[in-house]
Chains A and B, each alone.
Chain A
């Protein structure tokens, strides 16, 4: 009778279905002792159990998103507390696109993201290959690589802030041994390129381990006989790496790429702690500027518009990556 609707998601059989067929239908993997009354009860309980996670996540993500959309078309600045929250159309968005500070933050963030993901994926892959080998001390290597990842960003940022400090740091101390002019180099507060270098190192030091662990898991699911077959066919190490390892690693690579791209695109903590956006505004990222607009300038209209752009940017980038990797994964 109504057998049409019970196939897709392994839904329970409906009334009118012979008991024997019910028992033998493949999607019913386990016998149900009480019958479909239990199934209905189960499903109702299921919604109840899954509701908290959905409500909580909606409250922390979707609600702010909607609120931001509303704010981005209105005037809302706590510094002008008494002024009414009038509708202002696209004014907030225009203010952002006309602001050289935001445009250069966008450029910087994009350059940082590209440099970071290329470097992190390459180095992360190298580390994954290293950890994939059987050797004595493998567990120690893995633990040493994992420790930087698990540390709070405050720790990694302060660690490298100490390392790069002209008077307390290790970097200038070592550099001075090579060339006297390199002693007492200020890394964080004078030179833009040097400040970015320090940020980049602190950020990669903390985040490459995660890439490496993801890629290691990807390497471990590649069956050994694929390599055997490649070796039988006389493939060199490089050939088997590019023709066997990389294609089979694509799912893991795409996951690592999405994670890292979004993290880099939204970089905030390291910059806040290491340079505070300086020297001048030269290390401000999109997220940093968004923080400043919200919390320092208390401008929730312009800040809301910035957030919307940030969300759209993040969505667009993830969409592109997912699309680029889809053919091989499915």
Chain B
């Protein structure tokens, strides 16, 4: 903008303007900018330093943990080892819980995408009666207190002989994933021009064919967003897992972590933190790659 204005003016005036700006506007602005960047750095530090601390702790040996922080084991320890990572898998048998978590989160995501795209399409396009109440109910279900569900669900699973089993979790976790995914996909489908579908309908395709062959391919970004959010939400559950699972072989990864590093006299945080680092990695990667998607997915249709 400055240059555009300057270009229209005779050269001496433009120079004068620029000099004026530099002298009179800049100093206050520089202080402000500096303060702003300091604030940004503080925020980033608060957000990320705990991760550094956990990474640092996970690379210590048992002896270093026992010795406490300080001296050679300061903020940057003089000696690092990967022993805790090995112990998490050997002593802690972390592989099984990790695998359980992957299975449950992936299956939940898959079911969510199928069920939510069908419902989202119906709510966006097929003009069914009671769309408003249905959407309200789906939203309300998302707010339902988790801890108020565990008692009855525990009794049901006990009756079915499915306690201490990861597969029922796939259904239970839908309470986290379905509401947000259905809303997200519904609001995306609404934005797809109807002409696209009409063309296919004229050509004699059925609605279901239209949904799978026309709508879903166009909606890939939204489906992808819903999938990422569902995976994160299912991967992160603790309450259901701790209520229904009782033996290490059937634990999910978040639950298994709480059993690590406990000895009679000391908590071995290197072991716990190695496991913490391991389960953080997939989530961190997802966030870094799909930052924009996640943000838009979280806020889609929140206040319209």
Contact = CB atoms under 8 A, between A and B. Distances in A.
Interface of A: 9-12, 29-31, 33-34, 38-39, 41-43, 45-50, 52-54, 56-57, 59-61, 63-65, 67-68, 71, 127, 130, 133, 135, 137, 139-148, 150-155, 158-163, 165, 167-170, 172-173, 205, 209-210, 213-214, 216-218, 251-252, 254-255, 258, 262, 266, 268-269, 272-273, 286-287, 290-291, 294-295, 300, 303-304, 307-308, 310-311, 314, 318, 329
- Per DSSP, chain A at the interface is helix
B25 interface: no
A12 B283 CA distance: 46
Given A45-B207, A52-B118, A154-B258, A205 B150 contact: no
Top 5 A-B pairs, shortest CB-CB distance: A46-B126, A307-B148, A67-B152, A217-B299, A251-B303
B172 A60 contact: yes
Contacts of B131: 9
Given A39-B127, A154-B238, A159-B50, A45 B208 contact: yes
Given A148-B47, A314-B145, A168 B269 contact: yes
Contact of A147 (B66, B128, B239, B284): B284
Interface stretch (B5-13, B15-23, B88-96, B271-279): B271-279
B174 A60 contact: yes
A49 B148 contact: no
17 contacts: A11-B127, A42-B127, A43-B129, A45-B208, A47-B122, A54-B119, A71-B151, A127-B43, A143-B287, A152-B236, A155-B283, A266-B145, A268-B147, A269-B239, A290-B147, A295-B242, A311-B145
Given A143-B291, A160-B50, A68 B276 contact: no
Contact of B201 (A33, A168, A262, A295): A33
Contact of B287 (A147, A310, A318): A147
Contacts of A33: 198, 201-202
Contacts of A155: 254, 276, 279-280, 283
B134 A152 contact: no
Contact of A162 (B134, B156, B235, B273): B273
Interface in B209-266: 232, 235-239, 242-243, 254-255, 257-258, 266
Given A141-B40, A255-B303, A311 B144 contact: yes
B294 interface: yes
Contacts of B182: 53
A140 B44 contact: yes
Contacts of A143: 287-288, 291
Contacts of B50: 159-160, 162-163, 170, 205
A135 B119 contact: no
A147 B47 contact: yes
Contacts of A150: 232, 283-284, 286-287, 294
Interface centre among A34, A38, A137, A291 (most CB of B within 10 A): A291
A159 to B, nearest CB: 5
Given A57-B138, A57-B174, 8 more contacts: A46-B128, A50-B118, A50-B119, A147-B288, A150-B232, A307-B145, A311-B144, A329-B303
Nearest to A76: B155
B63 interface: no
A172 to B, nearest CB: 8
Nearest to B58: A162
B143 A272 contact: no
A170 B147 contact: no
Nearest to B60: A168
B291 A300 contact: no
Nearest to A303: B151
B166 interface: no
A42 B284 contact: no
B260 to A, nearest CB: 9
A268 B239 contact: yes
B304 to A, nearest CB: 8
Contacts of A127: 43
Given A33-B198, A68-B148, A151 B127 contact: no
A31 B126 contact: no
Contacts of B237: 152
B110 interface: no
A212 to B, nearest CB: 10
A159 B51 contact: yes
A56 B126 contact: no
B76 interface: no
A309 to B, nearest CB: 9
B100 to A, nearest CB: 14
B107 interface: no
A322 B155 CA distance: 34
B144 to A, nearest CB: 4
B121 interface: yes
B263 to A, nearest CB: 13
Contact of A165 (B46, B47, B143, B267): B267
Interface in B75-96: 75
A213 B293 CA distance: 12
A214 B299 contact: yes
A308 B144 CA distance: 11
A165 B123 CA distance: 50
B255 to A, nearest CB: 8
B299 A57 contact: no
A74 B261 CA distance: 41
Contact of A152 (B118, B119, B242, B279): B279
B294 to A, nearest CB: 7
